Amino acid sequence: MCALQANASSRENSSLSSADASAWDVNSANAELEGAPAEHVLRWAKDTFANGLIMSSSFGAESAMMLHLVSRVAPGIPVVFLDTGYLFPETYTFAEDLAKRFKLNLKVYSSGTSTARQEALYGRMWEGSEEDLARYQQLNKVEPMDRALRELGAVAWIAGLRRQQTDFRKGLRVVEPQDGVVKIHPILGWTRDDVKQYMQTHNLPYHPLYAYGYRSIGDWHSTSATTLNQDERDGRNLGEKKECGIHLPRTKEADESLKSSGL
């Protein structure tokens, strides 16, 4: 909460002031929101953070679900799309299609270092060590996301994480302070069946590569198809932590804890 209050005064476009920040606390919020419908969580986030609220989307396999959900409850909020320069061509076209369909306020962010320069200086980092992977994530995902949060004046950030996806995500709460912003996880408790049901009910499209076995979709060089008896995240080569970096806390203590737990 201290980090949230310290950053709030510099975000002139947000209606959340330091006084507002002290009017709620994370434990009370989680007591109210744990198990609540996703729409209720999103309305709470919209009412609490107003113009300081953003969301991120990878435009992956089932991203239409979160984009549809948020566009119904909080239309017009900035949607951050990280373009690593290594996405599948189908991802770019899928993002354009969904942006038009849901009238998204799309904000595309990329690394300040071109992919050609990255490979010249560091080689194919995704084929290297954990340190190489960390550099790749920092250049193409962490720094661009940090810049997006800063430039958009974000106080709170909606993300479509689910506890079923990774060991790290099992320990998350619906409302989670992270590195100076508040992360909101409206579908944290959803199962794969819940996602499937929502997609079917609203006739939403899957990513074009989903039909070919790609159930967790990121960069082309680190994504592969999976079989139905595999976990969806088995198709992603993201290093030991099984995360792309932007959803991990980055304090030294938290990072050491994740490493020691084998994530």
What CATH number does residue 236 fall under? 3.40.50.620
Neighbours of 121 (CB within 10 A): 11
Q: What is the structure's pLDDT at 262?
A: 27
The pTM score is 0.80
pLDDT band at 233 (very low <50, low <70, confident <90, very high): low
Burial of 262 (0-12, 13-18, 19+ CB in 10 A): exposed
Q: Assess contact for 106 and 98: CB atoms under 8 A.
A: no
d(C-alpha 174, C-alpha 91), whole Å: 28
Q: Which range, 32-36, 85-89, 232-236, has the best average confidence (pLDDT)? A: 85-89
Q: Which residue of the set 98, 99, 244, 248 is catalytic?
A: 244
Measured from the Cβ of residue 5, the count of other Cβ atoms closer than 10 Å reads: 15
* Residue 115 burial class via C-beta count within 10 angstroms: exposed 0-12, middle 13-18, buried 19 and up: middle
H/E stretch holding 97 = helix 89-101
Could you confirm whether 244 is annotated as catalytic?
yes
Could you tell me if 132 and 122 are in contact, meaning their C-beta atoms sit under 8 angstroms apart? yes
Map residue 27 onto helix, strand or coil. helix
What is the extent of the structural domain holding 153? 2-260
Q: How many domains does the chain have?
A: 1
Work out the average pLDDT over 169-196.
Answer: 89
Quote the mean pLDDT of the chain: 82
Q: What is the mean pLDDT of residues 240-247?
A: 54
Among 111, 58, 102, 88, smallest CA distance to 225 is for 88
Kindly report the number of other CB atoms within 10 A of residue 47's CB atom. Answer: 10
State the DSSP H helix or E strand holding residue 51, giving kind and residue range, or none if neither.
none
What residue has token string 């989680």? 30
Q: What pLDDT score was predicted for residue 224?
A: 85
Each residue's pLDDT tens digit, 94-152: 999 999 999 999 999 999 999 999 999 999 999 999 999 999 999 999 999 999 999 99
Task: Report pLDDT for 256.
Answer: 40
Q: Which residue has the tokens 């720094």?
A: 143
Per DSSP, the three-state class of 91 is helix
Share of residues in the chain with pLDDT > 90 (%):
62
Task: Give the mean model confidence (pLDDT) for residues 11-15.
Answer: 37
- Tell whether the model's pLDDT for residue 247 goes beyond 60: no
Examine the pLDDT at 83 and tell me if it is beyond 70.
yes
